[in-house]
Structure 1
Amino acid sequence: MISHPERFDGLHIVARALIDHLTAAYDADADASPATAADLLRQPDGILHSVRVTPRRSGAAPLTFVLIDHPAVIVHAGVLHDFVFPPCSCEACDETAESAAARLELLVLGVAGGGYSERYPVGWRRRWLGYALTAPDGSASESGQGDPGPVPAGLLRSGKARLREIPGGWASWPAKQP
């Protein structure tokens, strides 16, 4: 049961601050058209705003931020992964706005710093999706893999082809020149 979803209201502020940081610090373009929400693997209800930030470097992973009225933030990173902040907002979970914001920041800065990689397929039979993420300063890392769920086969094929082009993982974003 979710009786106090407003406790995560601050995540929208954090997401907007990270978008502002990315466009100020990196050579990247931001597209705030509603169509950018289509980057998500699964479309949520209650979309309020979406922004795709694309670095101007071949081989660097784009990030699409989708703010939903839950309140939550979903970030599509690279080609085959969506990350939800908070992943669960029920009272039984220990997730707080602060812990979700810290994970959101780790993801965004890790991707921009070149510490993000995706894999598909992982395994011979199961054909799972996998990712690895490392903070730019090496202070934190996470990884995961699992069944892609109801992702269209065409998207998995195109993602697999794109990931073959970057076998060492996604490149770091180029810094904005003064």
Structure 2
Amino acid sequence: MTDYVRPAFAETVFSPRASDPDLGDDPSYADPETYRPVAAVAQALVEHVAREYDVVVDAPLEVPSAHGRWLPEPLSRIVRISPRHPGEVTVWIMVGTEPGVVGVAAGAFSSFAFPFCSCQLCDEPWQHVADGLEEVVLALARDGVRETVEAGRRGQVEWSLSRTRHAWSGRTPTRGVRRAELRRWEDALAGLPDGRWAGWTPRRHDG
């Protein structure tokens, strides 16, 4: 298998979003161009996994409703990466119209946002955002994701990645989720070992 290599970009620095008439000279927001390279990193990751894993890549018009609440809005592009083998994880990579805003959804309800916060006070370079995006997508490709559903009045769903440098995980209450959807999640996860969607099968390269 060929290792993933990040595309080369010119350095990008933070600057006030003075060009936005709604924000004026407010220094608490980063220039919208700051994270533009992150979208190119997302595309490079799609090309890498399509080349190295036995998956199907397409561009649906929408994502499942379970992932809709965490979408970057508005969207400019959706890429779905579907496995060819049962029990493996399906991943959606969603690119927002604002430069470099990317969401990753996986499995039944897992989600990851990049950047987590784009204000200048957080002072997060695009390279760090790209590091996180790469770590999440490559971890999903390699090991999949574990998801659990806790039912009841105070129910919640949780998800987590494994073998990553950072603790990529999340949880959210099930309040507002329809019972039929909760049952679909529970049924899907019941057929998986410990609720874990597997990573993808590597593609065989002849020669």
TM over 0.5: yes
Q: Are positions 1:55 and 2:68 aligned together?
A: no
Aligned residue type for 2:123:
D
Distance 1:127 1:8 in 2: 35
Report whether the alignment pairs 1:116 with 2:145.
yes
> Which protein, 1 or 2, shows the higher relative CO under an 8 Å CA cutoff with sep ≥ 6?
1
Distance in 2, Cα, partners of 1:147 & 1:39: 12
For 1:65-104, list aligned pairs within 5 A.
65-71=93-99, 72-104=101-133
Aligned to 2:3: none
Amino acid at match of 1:13: A
Distance, in Å, in 1 between the alignment partners of 2:44 and 2:64 is: 19
Give CA-to-partner distance per residue, 1:128-149, whole Å, 9 cap, x none: 11111124xx544433323246
User: In 2, distance between residues paired with 1:144 and 1:40?
Assistant: 13
2:160 partner letter = A
Indicate the residue corresponding to 2:203 in structure 1.
176
Q: Tell me if the contact between 1:41 and 1:151 (Cα under 8 Å) persists in the aligned partners.
A: no
When residues 121 and 94 of structure 1 are mapped into structure 2, their CA distance, relative to the original with a 3 A threshold, is farther
Whole-Å separation in 2 of the counterparts to 1:18 and 1:77 = 15
What is the SS of the residue equivalent to 2:118? coil
Change (3 A) 1:146 1:33: closer
Counterpart of 1:163, as a letter, is L
Residue 157 of structure 2 corresponds to 129
Please state which structure has a larger fraction of its residues in helix.
Answer: 1
Match of 2:67 in 1: 40
Larger Rg: 2
1:5 aligns with 2:32: yes
Specify the code of the residue in structure 1 equivalent to 2:180. G
Asked if 2 retains the 8 angstrom alpha-carbon contact of 1:118 and 1:132, the reply is yes
1:49-100 Cα distance to aligned partner (Å, 9 max, x none): 1110011121111110110012301111111122111111011213221111
Name stretches of at least 5 consecutive residues in structure 2 with no aligned partner: 1-27
Q: Distance in 2 between matches of 1:19 and 1:167?
A: 27
d(CA) in 1 for partners of 2:161, 2:191: 18
Q: Which has the higher strand share?
A: 1
Consecutive unaligned residues of structure 1, counting only runs of 5 or more, are none
Q: Is the 8 A contact 2:136 2:168 kept in 1?
A: no
CA distance in 2: counterparts of 1:176 and 1:110, whole angstroms: 16
> Please, what TM-score do these two structures have when normalized by structure 1?
0.86
The change in CA–CA distance for 1:125 and 1:151 in structure 2 (over 3 A counts) is: closer
Q: Secondary structure at the match of 2:168?
A: strand
Q: 1:154 to 1:175 in 2, by over 3 A?
A: same
The count of corresponding residues between Structure 1 and Structure 2 is 175
